[in-house]
């Protein structure tokens, strides 16, 4: 979870409103700088002071704040990542510290509250996904005032139709799938591309449809590997001598478990998914006899310049966060619902994720044009 600017404003009631915000769930994301820019410039143009917290919750835990100026947030709209840094191992409720030869988790939320008090911070603006908002809910329960901004490439935050960063990730993934087509067709192979998304299939679904993938495997629809292999064989029979498979990292076979690449005991979110792409490629090759290869796109999906769509969305969210601060409407998350900007209580979001409905219209559309989801 990451933290960005704190905004301070004279309310005329003898007390300032000081606002911070956290970037990201655990890692960076295209569009973070655009949100930092939108909140900071709106705040400063409204007469507020802005303070940044470095490296997310880690900076809040370690009391690392720095003032932000107009110069700091100029020319960052198109820049990927975050000017303040990110950290994926700093949950105040379960902060990993080394004790001898073991890692233990400590609750340092009181320390965070004390640093906010020392810094005279009256409110935080948090930017992130379900993990960030769960952490925010904890801090709200301890008396902090918070405004949330939804961010995750996975698009899995409950309560909003879209999160910034997702469009860029889908564009990157779709471009990679497009490029794989030429290699697949030249060598007559099955090419399996494993995409991010954690426990939701939005990236694989949208990138797969956009690139014309023949098979899309997502966590919400357990797949039968024999059905997947038969799809590849069937294409070969009808003269299509290659198959493109887009698979979400959280996809799992029917009756099986999700594939875990590793466990990071120093992280509050220790499970690292991965390996399903290789499983699919190996099994399809074994069953069909068609040469198959697996590619893991990985963190490329997080990087690079945010798309114009994400820059617009990030600016829209950042400005609405400022509006909520101005109105004193704390402990709410800026969201997009039915195409309109609004807000909901952060408590409604904490601990929940937004997955792809099995009857989603895009799934129906993909199936209608012949795309397989490995289920039938």
CB count in 10 Å sphere of residue 359: 7
**Which candidate, 185, 373, 184, 192, places its Cα nearest to that of 280?**
192
Are 82 and 4 in contact by the 8 Å Cβ rule? The answer is yes
Q: Which residues contact 193 (CB under 8 A, 6 or more apart)?
A: 173, 176, 177, 180, 244, 245, 246, 247, 277, 294, 295, 297
- Looking at residue 6, the DSSP 8-state letter turns out to be E
Q: What are phi and psi of 151, to 5 degrees?
A: -140, 130
Rounded distance between C-alpha atoms, residue 46 and residue 8, angstroms: 10
Specify whether the CB–CB gap between 26 and 12 falls below 8 A.
no
Q: Find the catalytic residue in 91, 154, 156, 310.
A: 154
3-state secondary structure 149-179: EEECCCCCECCCCCCECHHHHHHHHHHHHHH
Phi, psi at 338, each rounded to 5°: 55, 35
**What is the distance in angstroms between the CA of the first residue and the CA of the last residue of the chain?**
39
Q: Hey, what are 273's tokens?
A: 């998914």
* Cβ neighbour number for residue 184 with a 10 Å cutoff: 23
User: Going by C-beta distance under 8 Å and a sequence separation of 6 or more, which residues neighbour residue 172?
Assistant: 297, 300, 301, 303, 304
The radius of gyration of the chain's CA atoms, rounded to the nearest angstrom, is 22
Distance CA 73, CA 214 (A): 43
- The whole-angstrom separation of Cα 69 and Cα 49 is 8
Closest CA to 318 of 41, 6, 50: 41
* Residue 325 backbone dihedrals phi, psi, to 5 degrees: -65, -45
Q: How far apart are CA 22 and CA 95, in angstroms?
A: 16
154 is catalytic: yes
The catalytic site residues sit at 154
């Amino acid at each position: 979870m990451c933290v960005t600017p704190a905004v301070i404003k004279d309310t005329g009631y003898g007390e300032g409103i000081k606002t911070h915000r956290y970037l990201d769930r655990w890692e960076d994301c295209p569009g973070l700088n655009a949100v930092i820019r939108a909140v900071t410039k709106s705040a400063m143009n409204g007469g507020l002071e802005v303070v940044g917290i470095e490296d997310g919750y880690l900076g809040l835990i370690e009391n690392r704040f720095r003032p932000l100026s107009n110069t700091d947030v100029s020319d960052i709209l198109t820049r990927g990542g975050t000017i303040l840094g990110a950290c994926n191992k700093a949950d105040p409720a379960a902060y990993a510290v080394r004790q001898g030869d073991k890692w233990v988790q400590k609750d340092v939320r009181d320390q965070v509250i004390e640093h906010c008090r020392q810094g005279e911070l009256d409110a935080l603006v948090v930017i992130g996904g379900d993990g960030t908002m769960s952490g925010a809910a904890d801090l709200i329960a301890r008396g902090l005032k918070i405004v949330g901004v939804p961010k995750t490439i996975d698009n899995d935050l409950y309560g909003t139709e879209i999160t910034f960063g997702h469009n860029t990730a889908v564009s990157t993934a779709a471009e990679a799938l497009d490029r794989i087509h030429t290699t697949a067709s030249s060598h007559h192979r099955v090419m399996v591309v494993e995409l991010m998304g954690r426990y939701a299939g939005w990236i694989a679904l949208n990138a797969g449809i956009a690139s014309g993938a023949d098979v899309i495997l997502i966590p919400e629809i357990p797949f039968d590997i024999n059905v997947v292999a038969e799809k590849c064989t069937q294409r070969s029979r009808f003269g299509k001598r290659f198959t493109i498979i887009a698979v979400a990292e959280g996809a799992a076979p029917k009756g099986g478990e999700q594939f875990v690449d590793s466990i990071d005991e120093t992280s509050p979110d220790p499970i690292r998914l991965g390996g399903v792409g290789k499983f699919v490629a190996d099994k399809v090759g074994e069953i069909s006899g068609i040469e198959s290869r697996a590619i893991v796109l990985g963190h490329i999906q997080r990087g690079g310049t945010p798309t114009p769509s994400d820059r617009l969305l990030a600016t829209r969210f950042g400005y609405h966060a400022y509006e909520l601060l101005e109105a004193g409407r704390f402990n709410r998350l800026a969201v997009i619902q039915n195409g309109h900007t609004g807000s909901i209580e952060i408590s409604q979001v904490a601990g929940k994720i937004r997955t792809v409905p099995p009857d989603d219209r895009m799934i129906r559309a993909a199936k209608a044009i012949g795309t397989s989801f490995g289920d039938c």
